[in-house]
Structure 1
Amino acid sequence: MAKENKSLGVVAAMPQEIAPVLARIKGFARGNIDGRNLYRFPVNGCLVYLIESGMGPAQAAAATKALIRHAAPDAILNFGFGGAVLAGLEVGELVLADRVFRLDQGNLAESPPPDAALAALVQDYCARVGLPLRRGGFITACGIRNKVEMAGRLGGSTALPLLEMETAAVLEQAQSAGIPLVAIRGVSDAADEELGFAIEEFCDTNLKLNPWRIAWTIAKRPLLIPQLIRLAGNSRRAGKRLALAVELALQALTRQNAF
């Protein structure tokens, strides 16, 4: 029997990605699933469940499983930040995934693509209000990777590749459950900026940011400070545009018969 009311699942990794979206939402309720923050709010009569997964493929997969178990969503939206691999994407630009790759122990494998119909729906809806979404390939890795090396491995096989840490894992869980997915990322660092640190330097074993590790790493490597300040500013810029894209995507996806 079909559900009387449809629901939409949303997965994002970090509070810094989620906060600008929630600032645009009125009347959300906050809860918890398996120790993860969950935000619930209606859009166009559809109940939206937004879960904060934490960083990395393992956390993303576990959070998506929990979301599916709890909310049984009819579709899933994944969003967050990403780093451009090749020239052609500037900080703050928005990219819609049309291909997704997973980098695991040095092996690069392509996942089945996200839902093309939902991607087109979101792209068209955003275009109507003058917010362009470009199409690209998302590369999910367990941590920060060298962009020059990654560009060489891709060999021009995908347009506008973007490095990130969750989408492939969310996609795999969604597709295993027969749920269509669309993914949007905002560019937080351009291709010419190689990040001078490993994410593990700032995080615990579960890839959660640890203030003590952050302080210790900066104390040992003060030359990182200018890059971290620049990245924080870039993330704020990307976060504002990404939040608008997410709001528009929610409007598009919750329209009647969207999924």
Structure 2
Amino acid sequence: MANENKSLGMVAAMPQEIAPVLARIKGYARGNIDGRNLYRFPVNGSCVYLIESGMGPAQAAAATRALIRHAEPDAIINFGFGGAVLPGLEVGELVLAERVFRLDQGALSELPLPDPALATLLQEHCAKVGLQLRRGGYITASGIRNKAEMASRLGGSTALPLLEMETAAVLEQAQGAGIPLVAIRGVSDAADEELGFSIEEFCDGNLNLVPWRVAWTISKRPWLIPQLIRLSGNCRRAGKRLALAVELALQALTRQSQP
């Protein structure tokens, strides 16, 4: 049974991650909090708040703090795209965060585990409709990192590692506020594809995309165009599956009688 008083929060970095989810939602309202897009909509009598954080740990942490202050959610879903570090994950597959690591100034540290009960609930709920969520380890970095180097550092200690840029920061804020969190990501690039650019080349100091920087980088290195086109297609493919998983996650969480 839905809990009429329940509030759920969601954090995602980019419009490309959010748009496929909103396409499956009817009747959302768009607002703004601390200069960030905030979307609000009902699911089974509960109120869901989705904030667009922007890329990188600093942006994700600030957005999560704003979300917690504004919505006081009973649980938080973090979702987005990620790059596979080791073979075993294909583009479009979905990965639940079982472990979360932070890569900061070359040092790799592990955070306390995301909520295992929520992860199990979502995995089982998605399995009922034939949607597989695999479990893996997220590595949150402040930019694009070399996958071969990450694989070497992990040494096989983590199943299905995925490189991304926000989850550790969102998790830290959620756990600091005593809020359970579950994270879902879709694979946008396989382990055998090293991205040929750095995020700093496309962004300002706050990791906001700057169109002229993108155009300038491509004009100087036109061989990036095929990779960017392929990555865009991969994100569309992963985004559709990710949006379905997020919708199912919302259904599962809002049908619980307890947070």
TM-score above 0.5: yes
Q: Is the 8 A contact 1:78 1:184 kept in 2?
A: yes
Deviations 1:32-72 (A, max 9, x none): 00000000000111100000000000000000000000000
Q: Which one-letter code corresponds to 1:251 in the other structure?
A: Q
Alignment of 1:174-213 (within 5 A): 174-213=174-213
Which position in structure 2 is the counterpart of 1:110? 110
Q: 1:60 is paired with a residue of what secondary structure?
A: helix
Structure 1: gaps spanning 5 or more residues: none
Deviations 1:82-115 (A, max 9, x none): 0000000000000000100000000000000100
Work out the CA distance in 2 between the residues paired with 1:72 and 1:93: 31
Q: 1:237 is paired with a residue of what secondary structure?
A: helix
Q: 1:96 is paired with a residue of what secondary structure?
A: strand
Which position in structure 1 is the counterpart of 2:55? 55
Q: Is the 8 A contact 2:4 2:45 kept in 1?
A: no
Matched, 1:25 2:37: no
Aligned residues between the structures: 257
Using the TM superposition, give the Cα deviation of residue 256 of structure 1 relative to its aligned residue in structure 2, in angstroms: 2.7
Q: 2:228 is paired with a residue of what secondary structure?
A: helix
Q: 2:223 is paired with a residue of what secondary structure?
A: helix
Structure 2: gaps spanning 5 or more residues: none
Using the TM superposition, give the Cα deviation of residue 6 of structure 1 relative to its aligned residue in structure 2, in angstroms: 1.1
Using the TM superposition, give the Cα deviation of residue 4 of structure 1 relative to its aligned residue in structure 2, in angstroms: 6.7
TM value normalised by structure 2 = 0.98
Work out the CA distance in 2 between the residues paired with 1:217 and 1:247: 36
Using the TM superposition, give the Cα deviation of residue 258 of structure 1 relative to its aligned residue in structure 2, in angstroms: 4.8
Work out the CA distance in 2 between the residues paired with 1:38 and 1:24: 17
Q: Is the 8 A contact 1:96 1:136 kept in 2?
A: yes
Q: 2:142 is paired with a residue of what secondary structure?
A: coil
Spell out structure 1 runs of 4+ moving beyond 4 A.
Answer: none
Q: 1:243 is paired with a residue of what secondary structure?
A: helix
Q: Is the 8 A contact 2:4 2:46 kept in 1?
A: no
Q: Is the 8 A contact 1:82 1:164 kept in 2?
A: yes
Q: Which one-letter code corresponds to 2:252 in the other structure?
A: A
Alignment of 1:74-153 (within 5 A): 74-153=74-153
Which position in structure 2 is the counterpart of 1:232? 232
